[in-house]
């Protein structure tokens, strides 16, 4: 029997960065909002055969070994720009891979993968001349309810995320040193993409790796967090050599609420004395907590030069988390759909 039946989508080494004893962690399920004092790290953020293949779990284990060294090197730097060069690639690969490998990521991309499979099958069926009209009608109806294999679809996204990791390297890194009396918490989808600059854009995707205004948040421990920001859209205040001393409880609260919204089922914290605080965060946000499902839109397409019809175009995007992030050490505009103009950071 395989030793890797229980596949973790957040590695145990990451949990241990927050654990007081390296064996257990405090947990708060999103469904109940009731904190659990002692949750075994081995049983968190994992499901049996989540990746469908023992080989994928083994490969992820090897990547995790290199990534844990990169995260340790980052946490040891006063200035995140001083991370040793040999760890830079591993760090950014880890950030994109960790985001793409979770249950939240699987939930978010399911509508897209299902739709693409259904469209592919519909074209195949429509072009199959061996079918009678009745058979074609029946099979087209069946295709409308087909679902993609979630493990296979996610494996493709994970591979693509590794290739796309370099797109994040132009973002400005900040280490947030928590000087408050409340900790950073993390969820079972701890690498969170957000875009406060396009914070009121609802009809388009603004979380692409090359999108202006992109920001990435990733806690490194109860007292330290990594934040990547687009310095063309955000002005950082009170930063010295890439480090911000966070003294405002509202900043810690905002980043923690982002983790709560990004999680698929659970958030975690290091010490049970903070139970009232974490449960309070949940109570404040419980009405806004939503499933992680991307938006799929079909609309007529037209050639920009000739105005000829191009048929229907399928547009998929991950919506912003339902939380308006405000941080006291960042100044920026907040644009809406009316003000949105498509562009890429790499084109600036």
Instruction: Name the band, by pLDDT with cuts 50, 70 and 90, for residue 313.
Output: confident
Contact predicate 9/102, CB 8 Å: yes
Whole-model pTM: value is 0.92
The confidence score (pLDDT) of residue 1 equals 43
The confidence score (pLDDT) of residue 310 equals 62
Q: Is the confidence at residue 212, as pLDDT, over 60?
A: yes
- Cβ-based neighbours of 263, under 8 Å, separated by 6 or more: 30, 104, 187, 188, 189
Residue 34 lies in a domain: no
Query: Mean per-residue pLDDT for 232-254?
Result: 97
The confidence score (pLDDT) of residue 332 equals 98
Q: Is the confidence at residue 86, as pLDDT, over 50?
A: yes
Name which of 172, 331, 181, 211 is nearest 271 in CA terms: 181
Strand pairing category for 266-269 and 186-187:
antiparallel
The confidence score (pLDDT) of residue 315 equals 75
Residue 29 lies in a domain: no
Q: Residues 19-36: pLDDT tens digits?
A: 999 999 999 999 999 999
Residue 324 lies in a domain: yes
- Rounded to the nearest integer, the mean pLDDT of the chain is 93
Q: Is the confidence at residue 308, as pLDDT, over 70?
A: no
The CA–CA distances, whole Å, from 298 to 56, 116, 315, 320 equal 34, 12, 6, 20
Q: Which domain holds residue 108?
A: 46-347
Q: Residues 261-279: pLDDT tens digits?
A: 999 999 999 999 999 999 9
Distance CA 229, CA 241 (A): 15
CB-CB neighbours of 76 under 10 Å: 10
Query: Mean per-residue pLDDT for 166-173?
Result: 97
Contact predicate 268/18, CB 8 Å: yes
Distance CA 24, CA 285 (A): 26
Query: Mean per-residue pLDDT for 284-297?
Result: 89
Q: Residues 143-153: pLDDT tens digits?
A: 999 999 999 99
Instruction: Name the band, by pLDDT with cuts 50, 70 and 90, for residue 15.
Output: very high
The confidence score (pLDDT) of residue 312 equals 67
Q: Is the confidence at residue 305, as pLDDT, over 90?
A: no
Instruction: Give the total number of structural domains in the chain.
Output: 1
Query: Mean per-residue pLDDT for 186-199?
Result: 98
Distance CA 143, CA 62 (A): 38
Q: Three-class SS string for 202-254?
A: CCCCCCCCCCCCCEEEEEEECCEEEEEECCCCCEECCEECCEEEECCHHHHHH
Distance of CA 291 to the CA centre of its chain: 13
Residue 22 lies in a domain: no
Query: Mean per-residue pLDDT for 79-89?
Result: 95
Instruction: Name the band, by pLDDT with cuts 50, 70 and 90, for residue 299.
Output: low
Q: Residues 100-141: pLDDT tens digits?
A: 999 999 999 999 999 999 999 999 999 999 999 999 999 999
End-to-end, the C-alpha distance of the chain in Å comes to 53
Instruction: Name the band, by pLDDT with cuts 50, 70 and 90, for residue 292.
Output: confident
Residue 28 lies in a domain: no
Instruction: Name the band, by pLDDT with cuts 50, 70 and 90, for residue 295.
Output: confident
């Amino acid at each position: 029997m395989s030793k890797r039946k229980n596949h973790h989508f957040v590695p145990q080494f990451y949990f241990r960065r927050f654990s007081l004893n390296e064996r257990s962690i405090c947990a708060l399920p999103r469904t109940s909002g009731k904190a659990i004092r002692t949750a075994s790290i081995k049983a968190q953020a994992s499901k049996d055969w989540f990746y469908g293949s023992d080989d994928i779990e083994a490969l992820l284990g090897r990547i995790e070994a290199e990534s844990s060294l990169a995260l340790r090197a980052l946490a040891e730097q006063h200035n995140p720009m001083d991370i040793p060069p040999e760890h830079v690639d591993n760090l950014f690969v880890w950030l994109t891979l960790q985001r793409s490998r979770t249950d939240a990521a699987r939930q978010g991309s399911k509508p897209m993968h299902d739709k693409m499979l259904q469209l592919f099958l519909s074209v195949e069926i429509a072009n199959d001349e061996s079918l009678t009209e009745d058979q074609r009608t029946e099979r087209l109806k069946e295709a409308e309810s087909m679902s993609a294999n979630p493990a296979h679809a996610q494996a493709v996204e994970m591979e693509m995320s590794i290739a796309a990791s370099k797109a994040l390297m132009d973002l400005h890194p900040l280490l947030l040193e928590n000087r408050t009396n409340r900790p950073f918490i993390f969820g079972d989808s701890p690498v969170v993409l957000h875009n406060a600059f396009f914070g009121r854009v609802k009809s388009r995707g603004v979380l692409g790796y090359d999108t202006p205004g992109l920001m990435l948040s990733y806690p490194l421990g109860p007292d330290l967090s990594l934040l990547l920001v687009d310095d063309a859209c955000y002005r950082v205040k009170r930063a010295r050599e890439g480090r911000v001393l966070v003294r405002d409880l509202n900043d810690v609260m905002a980043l923690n609420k982002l983790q709560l919204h990004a999680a698929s089922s659970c958030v975690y914290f290091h010490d049970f004395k903070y139970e009232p605080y974490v449960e309070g965060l949940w109570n404040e946000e419980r009405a806004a907590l939503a499933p992680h499902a991307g938006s799929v839109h079909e609309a007529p397409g037209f050639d920009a030069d000739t105005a000829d019809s191009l048929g229907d175009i399928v547009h998929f995007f991950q919506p912003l988390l339902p939380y308006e992030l405000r941080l006291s050490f960042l100044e920026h505009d907040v644009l809406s759909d009316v003000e949105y103009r498509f562009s890429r950071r790499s084109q600036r």
